[in-house]
Chains A and B, each alone.
Chain A
Amino acid sequence: MIPSWMKVMDEAVALPPSRRLKGSSAFVKKTLDGILTFFQEAMISEGYAKRDGLLQGLDARAKLISILALVFAVSITRDLAVLAVVYGLILLLAYMSRIEIAFFIKRVWLFIPLFAGVIAVPILFNVFLPGDPLIHIANLGEGATLGPFHLPESIYITVQGAKTTTIFTLRVATAVSAVVLLFLTTPQALLFKSLRSLGVPKVYVLTTSMAYRYIFLFMEMIRDLHIAKRSRSIKSLSVLDEQRWVGGRIGYMLIKSLDLSEKVHMAMVSRGFNGDVVILHDYRLRMRDYMATAGFLSLSLALTLISFDYIRI
C-alpha cells in the first residue's frame, strides 16, 4: 500500500552538538503562552470565589452595585490620604475574604504600569506640566527643540507632577483593586448574571457569558494549532513567515468561530430557544447583603461629598 520511498529507513548519523542560542524568536509561542497563562490563572482564581470569606458570602448583585459605586467615588477623589484609606480598606476586605494579600497586591500592581503608567508618567516632567522643581534631570540649554516642539531650558520632575501622578496611580490602583476583588470573590457565572440587576437585557447577559465560555475553547484550539505546527517544524521560520502563519490562523479561527456559532445556535434552537431566553435565578438577598450595600453606598457618598468639598477633613 505504501510507496517505495516510504520504505527507505534513515541510517543513524552523527549529528553535530546543538548550540544553545541566547534569546528566542519564538514570539508566537511566547505570546500564546502569556495569554494561556492569563486564562489559566482566571480559571484557578475561581477557587477564591468558593472560599468561605466575607465577600464570598454576599449576593453577587449586592457586590456588583457596591463595587461600582465605590469605583465611581474613587475615580473622583483627589485627596491622597483619603485614597490611601480606601485602598487600605480594600486590602482589609481582601484579607477578610481569605485572599492572600501578597497575591492580591501583585495581581493588581501588574496591571497598573500598563493602564496608568503610560498616561501618568509624562505628567511628572515639566515638559508637559510646568511646576516647581523636585528632581533635576537634564540641562538642555536655551532654544532646545524636539522636532517642531520647543523644550524648556532644563528638564525636571515637578512637585505638582509628582503629586498628580501619585494620586492618579493610587486612584487607578484602588479602583482596579476593588474590581479585582469583585472578580475574585464571585463565580463568573453569577457575576455575569448579576448584570441583570443593573438593567442589562437578558440576551446581552447570555451572550457575554457564552462569549466568556467559548474563549476557553478557542484558546485551546489555538494552542493545539500551534503545537501541531511546532511538531512538524523542522527549521525555524523567518519572522515574516511566522507572521504569515499567524495571519492565516486568524482567518481560520474566524471561519471556525462562525461555524461554531451556527452550531451552538442550532443546539439552542433544538432545546426550545426562540429569541427570548429564560435563565435560572440564583439569588437570595439577605439582611447582610442589604447592610453591605448600604455600607458601601454610604462610603461612596461620603467620598463623593469629600471630593466636592461638602465635607472637609
Chain B
Amino acid sequence: MSTIFELHDVSYTYLARFPALSDINLKIERGEQVCLIGTNGSGKSTLLSLLDALIYPTSGSFHAFGRLVEEEVFDSLSDDAFREEFRRKVAFVFQNSDVQLFSSTVLEEIAFGPLQLGMREEDVRGRSEELMEMMGIAKLSSRAPHTLSGGEKKKVSIASALSTNPQVLLLDEPTAGLDPRTQLWLIELIQELGDAGKTIIVATHDLETVEHISQRAIVMGEDHRIKADRTASEVIQDRDLLLSANLIHEHAHRHGRRLHTHIHPHPGHHPENEH
C-alpha cells in the first residue's frame, strides 16, 4: 500500500483563537475506508477540509501523495501540475448540499469538475449522463438545484464529486438528514466504491453506519485531538472510549411501566446487545 495522506503534528486554529485541530498525526493508505467519528465541534469537518487542501495547517505538515501541500502553491492563481493532479484525485462531498450545488442545472453541476480539469466537452457530457443514470437522477438533468429534495440534492452532490473519477473520496456527514431508504442506498454505494479500490474517508457521528462503511475508525475527542485510531469494530465495541468521547451516554428508558437505564448512543440507536 502507498500512502495517500500523511499529517505530522498538525494543528489548526480558526481566527487565531479557536482551536479546531490539535497535534494530529495520521496516515491514510491507498484503498483504505476510514470513518472519522466525534461529537459536533470535535474537528471532523475541519480535518476533511484540510485533507482536501481547502485550508492549511496552522502548524505541522500535511503531505498528499508523497508531496508537501503548501498554501503558496494551492492558493496561487498560476497553474500547477501537482494541484491539478490533487484536484483530479481527491473529491469532497460537503455536508450542506446547497454549498456544493452552485450551478444552474443538475447536468452543469456534474459537468463542472471535469470541465475545470480540462476534459473534452463531449466526454464530459457522456460521463455525466452515465453517472446520472447510475445514480438514478437522469430525469433531473435540466432541473435547477433549488427545486430538488434533500435526498436528490445529496445524490447530485455525490455525482458531482464522482464525475472526475477521484481516487479519494471525502464525505462529510453523508447520511445526515436522509430518509432510511436513501441512507441504505448511500451505504451500499460507499461499499461498492470501496470495493472498487477507492480511498474513502467519512466524517460521521452515526455510529450505526461506521462498521458498514469502514474498516478503520478514528475517534476525535472534544479537545480536538485523536482519541483512538483502531479498527472500526474495536472502536464500536469499546464502550468506555465512546463514553469518554461523549458519543454515547447513560440513558433512562421505559418499557411499558418498567424504567431502566442503559448505554445509549447519540443519536437514537438501539444495539441489540445492550438490552
Chain A positions within 8 Å of B, measured between CB atoms, are: 43, 46, 187-189, 192-193, 209-210, 212-214, 216-217, 260, 263-264, 266-275, 277-281
Contacts and interface: CB of A to CB of B under 8 A. Distances in A.
Given A189-B108, A264-B102, A281-B121, A270 B144 contact: no
Nearest to B84: A272
B116 A43 contact: no
Contacts of A216: 146
B87 A271 contact: yes
Given A271-B164, A274-B77, A280-B111, A260 B99 contact: yes
Interface stretch (B63-71, B88-96, B261-269): B88-96
A280 B106 CA distance: 12
Interface in B78-106: 79, 83-84, 87-88, 90-92, 94, 96, 98-105
Contacts of A189: 104-105, 108, 142, 144
A217 B148 CA distance: 12
B92 A267 contact: yes
Interface of B: 49, 52, 54, 77, 79, 83-84, 87-88, 90-92, 94, 96, 98-105, 107-108, 111-113, 115-118, 121, 124-125, 142, 144-147, 160-161, 164
Name the prevailing secondary structure of the B interface residues.
Answer: helix
22 contacts: A46-B144, A187-B142, A193-B104, A210-B103, A213-B145, A263-B96, A264-B99, A264-B102, A267-B92, A267-B94, A267-B100, A267-B102, A268-B112, A270-B91, A271-B112, A272-B87, A272-B113, A272-B117, A278-B116, A280-B121, A280-B124, A280-B125
A271 B160 contact: yes
A213 B77 contact: no
A272 B88 CA distance: 7
Nearest to A267: B100
B92 A270 contact: yes
A291 B88 CA distance: 44
Contacts of B98: 217, 260
Given A217-B98, A272-B164, A274-B79, A188 B87 contact: no
A94 to B, nearest CB: 23
Contacts of A263: 94, 96, 99
Contacts of B117: 272
A41 to B, nearest CB: 14
Nearest to B125: A280
A210 to B, nearest CB: 5
Given A217-B146, A280-B125, A273 B116 contact: yes
A224 to B, nearest CB: 13
Nearest to A266: B54
Contacts of B87: 269-272
B105 to A, nearest CB: 5
Contacts of B99: 260, 263-264, 266-267
Contacts of A281: 121
- 5 tightest A-B CB contacts, nearest first: A189-B104, A272-B116, A271-B113, A216-B146, A278-B115
A268 B84 CA distance: 13
Contacts of B101: 213
B125 A188 contact: no
B115 A192 contact: no
A271 B91 contact: yes
Contact of B116 (A188, A213, A214, A274): A274
Contacts of B112: 268, 271, 273
Nearest to B108: A280
B139 to A, nearest CB: 13
B266 to A, nearest CB: 15
Contacts of B92: 267, 270
